[in-house]
Amino acid sequence: MSKPAKAPDLFDTPSSPASPAPRPAAASAAATSGYSAKDIEVLEGLEPVRKRPGMYIGGTDERALHHLFAEVLDNAMDEAVAGHAKLIEVTLDADGGLTVRDDGRGMPVDEHAKYPGKSALEVIMTMLHSGGKFSGKAYETSGGLHGVGVSVVNALSETLEVRVWRDGFEWVQTFSRGIPTSALQQLGPSKKKGTAVRFVPDE
């Protein structure tokens, strides 16, 4: 009586391995699918935020508006938690503008070493993934690391104004949809300290 044939095993080494099927050329595959290198977009600056706000703040509804507020509030809270601010004021205006002000150290206004001609304030407000919370040197504890950053608020605001009191002066810079509409201006001497961010969400 002949022995029954052994069932093939997944880990058996085939006696004569089949030659791999020829792969189509990359160019012809791309042409067939209609999806090639020319279809890949590279968005600069804050443009991706404006094109796909839902990726950053979860949508465009009231909850998303609260997310914008939370991003600005996080920065003030971090100053308070670090012991640099004792007061945080929130103001909602009739035109829909929202202001968050603290009496902390004030956002840095000196020129950024990596971006000559731009202040640290402008870098923070116009570039994703910028800020003083990544190295752990400026803030030992930070709630803002769990968010998307104030630059996203700037990108999604019809108008945004930052006022800073530090180094013995008051400073101001304005933006619209993430783009500076004024240079950083030194307004005059001041003994105050802190930062105020006022923004009107884009419709």
Per-residue pLDDT reduced to its tens digit, 117-150: 999 999 999 988 665 554 455 545 445 544 578 9
Among residues 156, 162, 143, which one has the least CA distance to residue 100?
162
With respect to residue 102, please indicate whether it lies within any of the assigned structural domains: yes
- Whether the CB-CB separation of 134 and 140 falls below 8 Å is answered with no
Domain membership of residue 185 as a residue range: 47-201
With respect to residue 34, please indicate whether it lies within any of the assigned structural domains: no
The total number of structural domains that make up the chain:
1
Report pLDDT for 169.
97
Q: What is the pTM of this model?
A: 0.72
Share of the chain above pLDDT 70, in %: 69
With respect to residue 188, please indicate whether it lies within any of the assigned structural domains: yes
Report pLDDT for 160.
97
Q: Give the count of beta carbons closer than 10 Å to the beta carbon of residue 92.
A: 10
Share of the chain above pLDDT 90, in %: 50
Determine the Cα–Cα distance for residues 152 and 57; give it in Å rounded to an integer.
Answer: 8
Report pLDDT for 26.
54
Q: What is the pLDDT of residues 6-53, one digit of tens each?
A: 666 555 555 555 555 555 555 555 555 677 666 765 566 788 788 888
Write the CATH number for 65: 3.30.565.10
Report pLDDT for 194.
97
Given a cut of 60, is residue 80 above it in pLDDT? yes
**Mean confidence (pLDDT) of the chain:** 81
Q: What is the pLDDT of residues 144-156, one digit of tens each?
A: 544 578 999 999 9
